[in-house]
Amino acid sequence: MVDMYVNHLIKKQKIIEDTKKDYVPSYYLINEAFPNKKLSQLTTKDLEKLEHLISFLPANRNKKKLTRDLDIHKQVEFMENILKDRANNVFRLEHKDHKVIGLGTQNKHFEQITNFIEFCSAKYKFESPLDGIVLQRYRIKSDSSLERLPLSDEEIQIIFNEFDYLNNKLLFTLKNDPLKVYGIFLTMFLGIRPIEAGQLMVNDLQHTTDKKGNTIYYLSVSTENTSEDINLNEVKKEKTKNTKRKLPLTDVFIKNLKFLEFVNQRKEDKHNFIFVNEEENLDIKQNIKNTVRRCEDTFNTKLKKLNFKDIDRKSFYSLRHSFANKIKHIPESLKDKRGESLMGHSGATDSELFNRYGNRYFEPDFLYEILEKVEYKEINKINIILKT
């Protein structure tokens, strides 16, 4: 049943391999909890028991020494005893790293199991044990104290001064791992997410003209395979459908970073991707992930060594928040939802930049007048960058 349902998700919902790996453990929790029952035999009481098990499931239960050899019922009993001890102010050293899985993970299990049961009951014509109450998601209020903070202009200036791969090792980095450098600028000046940058193909660099006939170069951010290799059709992924957008390149890319020349060289060298090389024995999706991870991890590792305020809430992704801060102060970005289009936003939450979101696809010449006004103090004056 699990394989059949997963195939259904792949076909109908177009889930990718990583999503499949994330979903499947939820379905097998049913078999763990009730190894001697068929799915059609489960009752509402059984699901209440399953909900209880999930609510007290130890984190990393199959890796921790004290829980990995226990069945799911014993694992939960073990965790419940630890929680009872802690409620009575009894804290054991050997239990200090044991905790219950987070509410987000619990909700993921509840949602996936519910969908799985609903599908199977409809497919195989048995009465669903779901009653509209059991396995319902918890409502989680976001903790603003855990949200990422933007990096200030002054902090970004320090980063460019202190990170060796952005100054004295810049040319070496551009040659061997260019996303580490270009990724920073793409996020700071265009708001591109790291994974979006990693997926960019050489043919995603396109051009159009404005009303005056001026050429505008832009990056087409989408899941479209713009190469001629059909084997790359399912490689790109997107956060939501609204992440599809056309982002015009401003002078910092055209004149300062020589980005057009860089991409054209990649084309001449027969590469399909702007920043990722296709290697014979490595899956391209994994290679993209590895490249993006190096970009973020190198930045984050060096960032943590700097004495910035609230450093635990700052990371590579803070550069995107810095970009958001810039455009929200540009009047044009609030017109016709162009700001949302630039950010590739798709839903309204308290932590998003705007209160309303749309999926209108704006043309580069209309977005250019916003992006050309994005500036960082002193950043454009860094000589080593301007000379690349």
Report the candidate in 188, 211, 190 with the shortest Cα–Cα distance to residue 367.
Answer: 190
Span 223-259, pLDDT tens digits: 899 998 998 988 887 655 557 788 999 999 998 889 9
Give me the pLDDT at residue 104, please. 82
Query: For residue 101, what are the CA distances in angstroms to 52, 59, 61, 107, 339?
Result: 12, 5, 9, 10, 36
Give me the pLDDT at residue 107, please. 87
The sheet with strand 245-248 has its strands ordered as: 205-209, 215-221, 245-248
Span 280-290, pLDDT tens digits: 667 888 889 88
Give me the pLDDT at residue 363, please. 76
In sequence order, the β-bridge partners of residue 207 are 217
280, burial (CB in 10 Å: exposed 0-12, middle 13-18, buried 19+): exposed
Task: Provide, rounded to the nearest whole percent, the portion of the chain with pLDDT above 90.
Answer: 52
Report the candidate in 93, 20, 102, 122 with the shortest Cα–Cα distance to residue 55.
Answer: 102
**CA 134 – CA 34 distance, rounded (Å):** 17
Instruction: Using pLDDT thresholds of 50, 70 and 90, give the confidence band for residue 384.
Output: very low
3-class DSSP state of 1: coil
CB 267 within 8 A of CB 261: no
Q: Is the predicted pLDDT of residue 71 greater than 70, yes or no?
A: yes
Give me the pLDDT at residue 281, please. 66
Instruction: Using pLDDT thresholds of 50, 70 and 90, give the confidence band for residue 158.
Output: very high
Which residue would you say has higher pLDDT here, 172 or 354? 172
Give me the pLDDT at residue 109, please. 93
Looking up tokens 């162009």 gives 338
Which residue would you say has higher pLDDT here, 59 or 243? 59
Q: Is the predicted pLDDT of residue 200 greater than 60, yes or no?
A: yes
- CA torsion angle for 377, 325, 301, 253 (degrees, to 10)? -60
**CA 339 – CA 218 distance, rounded (Å):** 17
Q: Is the predicted pLDDT of residue 70 greater than 50, yes or no?
A: yes
Give me the pLDDT at residue 357, please. 34
Least confident interval from 225-229, 308-312, 367-371: 367-371
Give me the pLDDT at residue 349, please. 36
**CA 83 – CA 91 distance, rounded (Å):** 9
**What average pLDDT does range 317-326 have in this prediction?**
91
Least confident interval from 4-8, 23-27, 86-90, 382-386: 382-386
Span 122-142, pLDDT tens digits: 889 999 999 888 887 665 555
Q: Is the predicted pLDDT of residue 333 greater than 90, yes or no?
A: no
Which of left, alpha, beta for 183 (phi over 0: left; psi -120 to 50: alpha)? alpha
Q: Is the predicted pLDDT of residue 332 greater than 70, yes or no?
A: no
Instruction: Using pLDDT thresholds of 50, 70 and 90, give the confidence band for residue 178.
Output: very high
Instruction: Using pLDDT thresholds of 50, 70 and 90, give the confidence band for residue 32.
Output: very high
Instruction: Using pLDDT thresholds of 50, 70 and 90, give the confidence band for residue 360.
Output: very low
